[in-house]
Amino acid sequence: MAAMKILVIDDEKDILEMVSKALKRNGYEVTTVWNIPDAAKQIRYNKWDLIVSDVMIPYEGGFELVESVKATSDTPVILITGMSEDVLNATVNKADLILHKPFTAKKLVEEVNKLVKKN
């Protein structure tokens, strides 16, 4: 069985590396990008099993990315954020899961595994 393909989008290098390494260690095929234009190209030309994106990224934000992805596919999306619950509740979106910073690699992998099994 082929590894599930996950696109990870974050402009913070440390977070991008931690997420990528944790997912790769658990058998996922991971591609990383740091901005929305690069993410849009990846989404347009590849089929993803899951997308993990920061909420605050250059050019557009994660909320706009979720709207765009969900308008054209049923690909699950996890948003990672340092925003407070109040701000998130005021900006309800179609993300399948919101993961709050700081989070551990273990927590990330647990949530990804749950979401992958669900879909």
pLDDT at residue 46 in the model:
95
At 118, is the pLDDT very low, low, confident or very high (cuts 50, 70, 90)? confident
Per-residue pLDDT at 84 exceeds 80: no
Tell me the mean pLDDT in the region 91-95: 66
Specify the pLDDT at position 88.
59
Rounded mean pLDDT of 96-113? 92
Q: If we measure between CA atoms, which residue out of 78, 80, 107, 115 comes closest to residue 94?
A: 78
Q: What percent of the chain has pLDDT over 90?
A: 56
Question: What is the arithmetic mean of pLDDT over 87-110?
Answer: 80
- 107 CB contacts (<8 Å, ≥6 apart)? 99
Find the mean pLDDT for residues 8-35: 96
pLDDT at 86 over 60: no
| Mean predicted confidence (pLDDT) in 102-114 | 94
pLDDT of 53: 93
CATH topology for the 5-118 domain: Rossmann fold (3.40.50)
